[in-house]
């Protein structure tokens, strides 16, 4: 009998498997129930842990779990214990700005996938080796945070905005402007151009793909090379998530994942070689130029000349006296692309959404641009220095990034055993800061759901609690590209609003976005029907006004008054009205009176207002007669 049972068990593989599974489950739950220092969190399932509760959208999942389990909860991503913190005070250690006693200088725990991508012991973002991280981080700070780089980046972004304006002014009036696509292309071009000094051509390609657009003449070979490179950066970003999430065995041998693995691996090899080729070619060019020849301050050039005889600010620390090797330069360049491309494009989309959703904010922005750049009917001159004056713009950008942080959650790992909120955290435990959770926390923000840029103004009556606003993270690993990104966003907002009348195709539609490692703007359609028609109308009246046509002058006054086809500008409007009034246009005469009457001109003057009203009233203007009657009543009373 005993033999039979033994035979039965040993021969029946399914029973063995069943027994193993039972043992695994018992062991799994035993270690879960007896785990040290448990933090509130959902009940996990073997193998997948709490992945089903977190869902694919990590930002939304974290918010949902925060509601159920509070500001600090733990979940299991597969077998790995992971902690989420969603309150400013709890992030104190993560945002420690010094290396001394820094318990969270690791980005992630050791991970075989990231190691295979050479991201664990080199580069910046996932680098766990303190010596090389410090070295690379210092180099990147010296490059993308240096004033000469930031100044040059303003020039590049302005030039690319000029291109965008050219493309937009030739768009077919009956097509919708896909703002998400345009900002994606513009951002890619900004990052590529500013990082390498070679102009990106995503916008040109996208423009050429649109029906009825005026095609740009661009070499097919250059276009393909450039697009392949950009595509390869996006592929690398997706591959980091893939390599991070799946263990080597599943990646390499599971039928669904195998082709993806091959694609990602080939891409990594190609990109590495391409970056080195780019570095080598530029290095040769710089070395063959004479020393007195100025070198453009794009990121690649700055990395190449660092610590060479061209570098006037040679760094004189013992550990860093030599120029960078080609590998070091290409790895830093890769960090710029990976860190900058996906973040910038999505943030720009979100900003455009919020601005266009709130017309009163748009008006205030236009006023700021008028006060900083003067006459908006002429091309505005955005300099590096002027960006500091765009205080309201900065508040609008901050508020957009508060409501939709492009990294809704992001990770760090404990670099030694430590503690948060009274709970012990073991070395290498992953801790996600739930940025969205903190940005919407009722204890930190009044009416957190409301879009209110004033809360970021000094006199806005709101005190910002330390660590309650973290769009760029914080502490020693805070985003090194934050000043560059903020500059780009300011330029883009100013250029778009002063040149175009963009309206959301469906103003009632909610923001469509999804989590893809970063928060991704899925769809953002703007209407350019009005834009093109309005531009045409403005052009038409300008054309007519050349010979002093009083009706055309009056019409131009109207367009400037309401900002149609041109930027709203009351000073310009008044100039046109006055010129038209002097030529005898009745409506314009009334308008001039009205502008003097209501203080819409600098030299507001009631006497002058009455004079113009009288002229217009005498000639039959009902509006002017009404104003005079009102004035008489006021005088009598």
Q: Is 354 in the site for ligand HEM (CB under 6 A)?
A: no
Q: How far is the CB of 191 from ligand HEM (least distance, A)?
A: 7
Which of 481, 487, 563, 593 binds ligand HEM (CB under 6 A)? It is 481
Question: What x/- string results for residues 528 through 567 when contact with ligand HEM is judged by CB under 6 A?
Answer: ----------------------------------------
User: Which is nearest to 51 in space by CA: 412, 42, 37?
Assistant: 42
Q: How many residues in the shown chain lie near ligand HEM by CB under 6 A? A: 27
Q: Is 480 in the site for ligand HEM (CB under 6 A)?
A: yes
DSSP for 381-395 reads ---HHHHTT-HHHHH
CA pair distance 388, 398, nearest whole angstrom:
14
Which residues touch 89 (CB under 8 Å, ≥6 apart)?
A: 467
Q: Phi and psi of 233, rounded to 5°?
A: -65, -45
137 vs 490 by CB, closer to ligand HEM:
137
Name the token pair of 221: 């070979």
Measured CA distances, 204 to 213, 223, 364, 499, 527 (Å): 11, 9, 32, 19, 20
| Dihedral class, residue 22 (left if φ above 0, else alpha if ψ from -120 to 50, else beta) | alpha
Which of 410, 432, 500, 541 binds ligand HEM (CB under 6 A)? It is 410
Q: Is 188 in the site for ligand HEM (CB under 6 A)?
A: no
72 vs 351 by CB, closer to ligand HEM:
351
Measured CA distances, 51 to 23, 206, 441, 563 (Å): 22, 38, 24, 51
Q: How far is the CB of 388 from ligand HEM (least distance, A)?
A: 18
CA pair distance 257, 267, nearest whole angstrom:
15
124 vs 497 by CB, closer to ligand HEM:
124
Q: Is 105 in the site for ligand HEM (CB under 6 A)?
A: no
Q: Is 161 in the site for ligand HEM (CB under 6 A)?
A: no
Which of 114, 204, 347, 566 binds ligand HEM (CB under 6 A)? It is 347
Asked if 42 contacts 68 with a C-beta cutoff of 8 angstroms, the reply is yes
Which of 484, 500, 515, 594 binds ligand HEM (CB under 6 A)? It is 484
Name the token pair of 258: 């195998």
Q: Is 130 in the site for ligand HEM (CB under 6 A)?
A: no
Q: Is 59 in the site for ligand HEM (CB under 6 A)?
A: no
Which of 61, 200, 453, 471 binds ligand HEM (CB under 6 A)? It is 471
- Answer yes or no: is 479 a known binding residue: yes
CA pair distance 39, 178, nearest whole angstrom:
45
Asked if 229 contacts 264 with a C-beta cutoff of 8 angstroms, the reply is no
Measured CA distances, 293 to 84, 193, 285, 309, 358 (Å): 52, 21, 12, 13, 49
Q: How far is the CB of 95 from ligand HEM (least distance, A)?
A: 7
Q: Is 200 in the site for ligand HEM (CB under 6 A)?
A: no
Name the token pair of 81: 């214990």
Binding segment toward ligand HEM, per CB under 6 A, in 4-12, 402-410, 437-445, 543-551:
402-410
User: Which is nearest to 502 in space by CA: 37, 171, 27?
Assistant: 171
Measured CA distances, 164 to 20, 203, 327 (Å): 62, 7, 34
69 vs 244 by CB, closer to ligand HEM:
244
Q: Is 368 in the site for ligand HEM (CB under 6 A)?
A: no
Where do the H-state alpha helices sit in 34-78? Answer: 51-54, 58-69
Which of 114, 275, 336, 624 binds ligand HEM (CB under 6 A)? It is 336
Only one residue has tokens 């993560």, namely 94
Asked if 462 contacts 434 with a C-beta cutoff of 8 angstroms, the reply is no
Which of 103, 124, 396, 403 binds ligand HEM (CB under 6 A)? It is 124
Q: Is 474 in the site for ligand HEM (CB under 6 A)?
A: yes
Binding segment toward ligand HEM, per CB under 6 A, in 161-169, 202-210, 406-414, 603-611:
406-414
Q: Is 483 in the site for ligand HEM (CB under 6 A)?
A: no
**Residues that constitute the known binding site:** 479
**Residues that constitute the known binding site for heme:** 479
Instruction: Give the interface with ligand HEM as residue ranges (CB under 6 A).
Output: 107, 124-125, 137, 144, 335-336, 339-340, 343-344, 347, 406-407, 410, 471-475, 477-481, 484-485
């Amino acid at each position: 009998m005993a033999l039979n049972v033994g035979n039965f068990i040993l021969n029946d593989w399914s029973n063995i498997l069943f027994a193993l599974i039972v043992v695994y489950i018992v062991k799994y739950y035993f270690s879960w129930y007896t785990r040290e220092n448990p933090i509130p969190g959902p009940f996990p399932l073997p193998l997948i842990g709490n992945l089903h509760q977190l869902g694919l959208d990590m930002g939304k999942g974290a918010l949902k779990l925060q509601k159920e389990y509070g500001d600090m909860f733990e979940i299991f991503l597969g077998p790995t214990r992971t902690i989420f913190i969603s309150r400013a005070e709890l992030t104190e250690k993560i945002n420690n700005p010094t290396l001394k006693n820094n318990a969270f200088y690791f980005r992630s725990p050791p991970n075989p996938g990231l190691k295979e991508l050479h991201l664990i012991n080199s580069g910046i973002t996932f680098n766990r080796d303190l010596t090389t991280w410090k070295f690379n981080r210092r180099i990147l700070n010296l490059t993308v945070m240096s004033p000469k780089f930031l100044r040059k980046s303003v020039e590049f972004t302005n030039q690319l905005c000029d291109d965008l304006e050219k493309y937009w002014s030739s768009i077919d009036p009956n097509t919708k402007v896909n703002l998400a696509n345009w900002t994606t292309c513009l951002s890619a071009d900004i990052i590529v151009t500013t990082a390498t000094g070679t102009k990106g051509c995503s916008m040109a390609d996208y423009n050429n793909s649109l029906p009825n657009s005026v095609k740009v003449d661009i070499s097919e070979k250059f276009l393909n090379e450039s697009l392949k490179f950009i595509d390869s950066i996006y592929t690398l970003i997706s591959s980091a998530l893939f390599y991070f999430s799946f263990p080597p065995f599943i990646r390499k041998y599971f039928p669904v994942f195998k082709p993806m693995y091959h694609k990602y691996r080939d891409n990594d090899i190609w990109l590495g070689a391409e970056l080195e080729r780019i570095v080598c070619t530029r290095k040769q060019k710089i070395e063959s130029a004479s020393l007195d020849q100025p070198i453009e301050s794009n990121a690649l050039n700055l990395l190449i000349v660092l610590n060479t005889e061209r570098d006037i600010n040679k760094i004189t620390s013992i550990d860093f006296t030599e120029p960078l090797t080609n590998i070091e330069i290409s790895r830093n360049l890769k960090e710029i692309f990976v860190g900058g491309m996906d973040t910038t494009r999505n943030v720009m989309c979100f900003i455009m959404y919020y601005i266009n959703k709130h017309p009163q904010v748009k008006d205030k922005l236009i006023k700021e641009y008028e006060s900083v750049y003067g006459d908006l009917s002429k091309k505005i001159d955005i300099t590096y220095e002027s960006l500091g004056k765009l205080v309201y713009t900065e508040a609008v950008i901050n508020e957009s990034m508060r409501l939709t942080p492009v990294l809704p959650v992001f990770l760090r790992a404990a670099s030694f055993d430590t503690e948060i909120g009274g709970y012990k955290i073991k070395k290498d435990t992953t801790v996600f800061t739930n940025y969205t959770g903190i940005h919407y926390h009722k204890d930190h923000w009044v009416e957190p759901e409301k879009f209110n840029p004033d809360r970021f103004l000094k006199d806005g009556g709101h005190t910002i609690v330390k660590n309650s606003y973290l769009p760029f993270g914080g502490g020693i690993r805070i985003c090194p590209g934050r000043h560059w990104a903020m500059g780009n966003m300011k330029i883009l907002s100013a250029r778009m609003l002063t040149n175009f009348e963009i309206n959301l195709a469906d103003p009632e539609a909610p923001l469509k976005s999804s989590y893809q490692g970063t928060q991704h703007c899925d769809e953002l359609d703007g209407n350019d029907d009005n834009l093109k028609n309005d531009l045409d109308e403005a052009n038409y009246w300008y054309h007519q006004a050349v010979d002093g046509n009083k009706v055309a002058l009056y019409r131009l006054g109207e367009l400037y008054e309401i900002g149609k086809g041109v930027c709203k500008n009351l000073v310009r409007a008044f100039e046109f009205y006055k010129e038209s009034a002097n030529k005898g246009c009745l409506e314009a005469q009334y308008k001039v009176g009205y502008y003097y009457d209501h203080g819409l001109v600098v030299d507001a003057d009631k006497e002058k207002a009455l004079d113009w009203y009288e002229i217009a009233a005498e000639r039959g203007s009902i509006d002017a007669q009404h104003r005079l009657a009102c004035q008489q009543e006021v005088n009598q009373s």
